Structure 1
Amino acid sequence: MNATWRTYLLWFAQEHIEFRFAEIQSLLSLFNIDMRYLERPKDEPYWIVQFASEKDVHLLASRSVSLRNCLELWSRAKTVQNLHEKLKNVPPKIMAPYFRPEKSFKIEVETFCRHFTQKEKIDKIETFSYLPLEGPVNLKNPDVTLQYIEYYGTISNNPPELPYEVFFGRWVASGLRQLIKKLSLKTRKFIGNTSMDPQLSLLMANQAKVKEGDIILDPFVGTGSLLVAAAHFGGYVLGTDIDYLMLHARTRPSRINQKRRETDESIKANMKQYNLEHRYLDVLVNDFSVPFWRDDFQFDAIITDPPYGIREATEKIGTAKENCIIKEEHLPTHIPAKIEYGISNIYKDLLAFSAKHLKVGGCVVCWFPVFREDYHESGLPSHPCLKLTANSEQVLSKKTSRRLLTFEKIRPPSQEELDTIHSQITDFREKYYTAREETRQERRMKEARIRKENHLKYKENIKKVE
């Protein structure tokens, strides 16, 4: 059995580095793929791994948006000379199926953190003339693509003279990077100020292990970016939000040159734009603190980005007035008042809802804002029926970040557990504005000190002149 395992190079896009491992692990679990790590993944844009079947490689690449491409690795070395020596000693039975006279080929040269001219690339290709390639060259649509990669580290403004690592192998599959451009917010019909970046939306859908036929919910749906990603991977999507104006596209446009919303802007229009309308169930105006789903209704996954109270308000239906009663004649035209829906309560409700309405084995994937200096895993939201399986950071500023959390439901909850949350969550919104005010005060004090110092220097210079 061990003889069937082959070594592969997974080559990643050098962005959202923290999210790679969580995405790949989720996809391995989703497709029940067995993958061996030959080296522990680090910050480099590549992993060296083994698969028992090339079908597994294609399956993984068909869903990953972090992965650029995958090579069957034939040679790897610290120097170019050593690479060629190793490549010449590769058993013929490995290369022979791809070097037949009827198979066309091409060789690509890629560098990381260093630019090669076309002539330099051709010179590199010529060094592989000893390979027993018998078929014709085809640069547009070859049967076999061979890749040579030189890795110069990750510091682009000061690369070394010689590469740290060199690789050579057969291209097997490319990741789903082209989908990021296809779903770009620049060309999307309906967007808002907080519409999720397509790459992050797709990463969330992958971490939720969305598959064909799943029913997916976003309880803070906004303009539906997460629904688009989930629908693309085969999910039937539902969304809810308390913001009536947003769901009906009556808010101020987010695009700079757009003065008013078009009449046909909607989440449904987005789904239609990407030929996903058949995956769209509905979006509903709903206060998440008062869910209206049947107790026995269950979702395969919940994917969401709850509001933090910074760019979008954290609100729920309510009033500060005591014993408030609406007269019956006013009910048809009554617009309910809203009160603050604190972050602690939002995540308490979200996890309790997920424990109740997720299928066992289903995932809830959500963003959670933190102050970086205060962060500790014990301060994350938790629930006894949900297991934290992934926790990745996206840095927002010097002081703040948000973490993408993935929880998997491990068992049904008891009634007591539906109301349980085991951590004290910091009120991000309150601390955020307190920190901003402190920063402003520090800036004003610094400016005042500089003005005072400059004034004293000016007086000293005047005295010297006199």
Structure 2
Amino acid sequence: MATTSSHSLAGLAADHRPYLLFGVQGPLEQFRLPEIDSVLQLFQIPHSWPTSPDPLRPYTLIGLRNDDDARKLGSRLVSVKHVWEYWASADSYHQVHDVVQSQECRAKWEPYALDEKCTWKFTTAGHNRTLALPQQVARINRFSYMAFLGPIDLKHPDLEVGLFEEYDENKEWGNKVREARRQLGDEQFEALHRDKGKEKLVESGLIDEEESLRAVWLGRKICDTSRHLIDVFDLKKRAYIGTTSMESEASLLMANQALAAPGKWIYDPFAGTGSMLLTASAFGACTFGSDIDGRQIRGKKTGIRHSAEQYGVWNRILDCYTFDMTQHPWRTGELFDAIVTDPPYGVRAGAKRLGRDEGEREVQPQVIAGRESEGYHHQFHDYVPPSVGWPMEEVISTLITYALYLLRPGGRLVFFLPTDSAVYEDIDIPVVPGLKTISNSPQQFGKWARRLITMEKTTETEGEWRKALEGLDRGIRRQGAKSTWEKEQEAEREQEAQSRKPGHADFNVRYQEGFRQVKDGIKDLLVDDRTAESSSDPNDTQ
């Protein structure tokens, strides 16, 4: 491929063609690569990476077999806007024109240019730089040598050519515009800016057009993606939401990482208002939800059912039950293909489990007059059993073993984990045999972050993960119970601790021992010296 060394395609497989994924930058940009990997696995799409993907850059090169695989990949992506067939890229416009006019690249676009019936259009966009309409037209005109013979069609073209500029963040750009205003004067600057925008400032030499330009990309559009679903599932348009409802983009990304698809059974143990159930069901999966507070599920005037009917997925939400995860009813494990959830952080809603604070009055069920045959009832129509606070670290550790019990081999656990950015380390992610971490993607909020963790149940260490459940009640730790694996880990740590004593342990004994070793050393040294002297005595004979 004729391209600059900075855009080498050395990693492209022999039977693959390069494609360009036009990604979205923003607070969830770190989620893009895990989502791409998940969709590739979901559809079993063979792929290669021409260059190592960088989550901080909006454009990602990937090698695929053909356009059909590209469309299949794009059909599920949410963090990517469009998929393009890669034609050329370079560090500057001078270089990219050389690449586009090379024989290898010409073979890609020339058949379209020579087809008089092929309708076409150019699309331009800039990353970290806004391109005004006059700038866009000027850039398109630079490729006039491509000389397309067919008519232009801006709405439904047969060919859409994408021209993209990628700039490094330049904090000085605004200062230079202000400096240009100062030099020209407000009146003259406004006249130039009104007529031709920044184009005139570039022509005057006051602003360098390609300053901070990192790359120029050119390609043929293959398809749009499913990013439009973000607007479809927008919370502002949803029939039923709550204070903790997950935003649409994050819930769609979680559904993709859970590999939601027809034939899959997916569970949310902190269902709340059902955001994860809706998006996973929209991708064809059958879903089940539970929550300790049934009022969240039922709502008052509207509930999860109304949102599900709004999106036409009510037939895929098998049911929603009210129960505490630590008192769950599952008598058999390995039921679900994925568990996808957003545990309560204790910020907008605290984590709770069944229990009663010491001294709290117990509400007993009663027999209601005239309904004795029905047995005992609570006097309150919408009775909510008492609950107590549940520390976050216990929530996560319980969720891990709960998922280990309920997931089928190859099933995924997808959940958000809140962390303090100042003290977070990767070792903070819980580790348990049988669940390997697939991805760990942060969304920063200043001093804290939430991390989307994806784990997969493996069968490689089946004996070990079964030990991680031995001693627990179906994945749940009750009254401080510990699994066989945890006990073995604690025993190993205690053994290691005993094998290394601190420097002050048995100090008096070690002190005296040190003196004894010194005395013995001196004694041995004296003996050696006497032996050496006797052996060197001139009166000695052989």
Which bracket does the TM-score occupy, shorter chain normalised? 0.7 to 0.9
Structure-to-structure mapping, 1:370-389, within 5 angstroms: 370-389=419-438
Query: 1:365-401 CA deviation, whole Å, 9 max, x = no partner?
Result: 0111111122122222222111111111112332x21
TM-score by length of 2: 0.71
Q: How many angstroms apart in 1 are the aligned matches of 2:280 and 2:214?
A: 39
2:36 matched residue in structure 1: 24
1:417 equivalenced with 2:474 (yes/no): no
1:309 equivalenced with 2:362 (yes/no): no
Native 8 Å contact 1:11 1:47 kept in 2: yes
1:454 matched residue in structure 2: none
1:98 equivalenced with 2:112 (yes/no): yes
1:118 equivalenced with 2:133 (yes/no): yes
Native 8 Å contact 1:4 1:53 kept in 2: no
The CA deviation at 1:2 is 5.5
Distance 1:377 1:114, change over 3 A: closer
2:194 matched residue in structure 1: none
Native 8 Å contact 1:44 1:153 kept in 2: no
The CA deviation at 1:97 is 4.3
1:86 matched residue in structure 2: 99
- Alignment length (residue pairs): 410
Q: How many angstroms apart in 2 are the aligned matches of 1:50 and 1:7?
A: 5
2:330 matched residue in structure 1: 293
Q: Give the letter for the 1:407 counterpart.
A: M
Structure-to-structure mapping, 1:14-413, within 5 angstroms: 14-15=25-26, 16-42=28-54, 43-91=56-104, 92-99=106-113, 100-155=115-170, 158=173, 161-162=209-210, 163-250=213-300, 263=301, 265-296=302-333, 298-321=335-358, 329=366, 331-333=376-378, 335=383, 336-398=385-447, 400-411=448-459, 413=465
| RMSD (CA atoms) | 2.5
The CA deviation at 1:134 is 2.4
SS in 1 for 2:239: coil
Q: How many angstroms apart in 2 are the aligned matches of 1:416 and 1:26?
A: 27
Native 8 Å contact 1:114 1:156 kept in 2: no
Query: 1:73-97 CA deviation, whole Å, 9 max, x = no partner?
Result: 2121111122111101143432344
SS in 2 for 1:414: helix
Instruction: Name which of structure 1's ranges 151-160 and 292-301 shifts more when overlaid on structure 2.
Output: 151-160
Native 8 Å contact 1:192 1:223 kept in 2: yes
Q: How many angstroms apart in 2 are the aligned matches of 1:307 and 1:323?
A: 24
Q: Give the letter for the 1:332 counterpart.
A: H
Q: How many angstroms apart in 1 are the aligned matches of 2:107 and 2:444?
A: 48
Query: 1:12-58 CA deviation, whole Å, 9 max, x = no partner?
Result: 11121211111111111111222222222221111222222222211
Q: Give the letter for the 1:310 counterpart.
A: V
Q: How many angstroms apart in 1 are the aligned matches of 2:414 and 2:111?
A: 43
Distance 1:145 1:332, change over 3 A: same
Instruction: Name which of structure 1's ranges 54-63 and 188-197 shifts more when overlaid on structure 2.
Output: 54-63
Native 8 Å contact 1:185 1:191 kept in 2: yes
Distance 1:281 1:156, change over 3 A: farther
Native 8 Å contact 2:333 2:407 kept in 1: no
SS in 1 for 2:353: strand
The CA deviation at 1:344 is 2.5
SS in 1 for 2:289: strand
Query: 1:306-345 CA deviation, whole Å, 9 max, x = no partner?
Result: 1122211211112245999875636510642212222232
The CA deviation at 1:129 is 1.6
Distance 1:325 1:70, change over 3 A: closer
Q: How many angstroms apart in 2 are the aligned matches of 1:337 and 1:289?
A: 14
1:437 matched residue in structure 2: none
Percent identical across equivalent pairs?
A: 31
Query: 1:137-163 CA deviation, whole Å, 9 max, x = no partner?
Result: 111000110111111224577387302
SS in 2 for 1:130: helix
Native 8 Å contact 1:236 1:280 kept in 2: yes
Distance 1:416 1:35, change over 3 A: closer
The CA deviation at 1:102 is 2.2
SS in 1 for 2:76: coil
Q: How many angstroms apart in 2 are the aligned matches of 1:384 and 1:352?
A: 10
Distance 1:267 1:138, change over 3 A: same
The CA deviation at 1:296 is 4.3
Native 8 Å contact 2:239 2:310 kept in 1: yes
1:13 equivalenced with 2:24 (yes/no): yes
Query: Which protein shows a greater Rg?
Result: 2
Q: How many angstroms apart in 2 are the aligned matches of 1:2 and 1:386?
A: 31
Q: How many angstroms apart in 2 are the aligned matches of 1:366 and 1:218?
A: 10
SS in 1 for 2:325: coil
SS in 2 for 1:82: helix
Q: How many angstroms apart in 2 are the aligned matches of 1:155 and 1:219?
A: 45
Q: How many angstroms apart in 1 are the aligned matches of 2:263 and 2:138?
A: 51
Q: Which 4+ runs in 1 deviate beyond 4 A?
A: 321-328, 420-424
Q: How many angstroms apart in 2 are the aligned matches of 1:3 and 1:328?
A: 72
Native 8 Å contact 2:334 2:408 kept in 1: no
TM-score by length of 1: 0.82
Q: How many angstroms apart in 2 are the aligned matches of 1:339 and 1:5?
A: 56
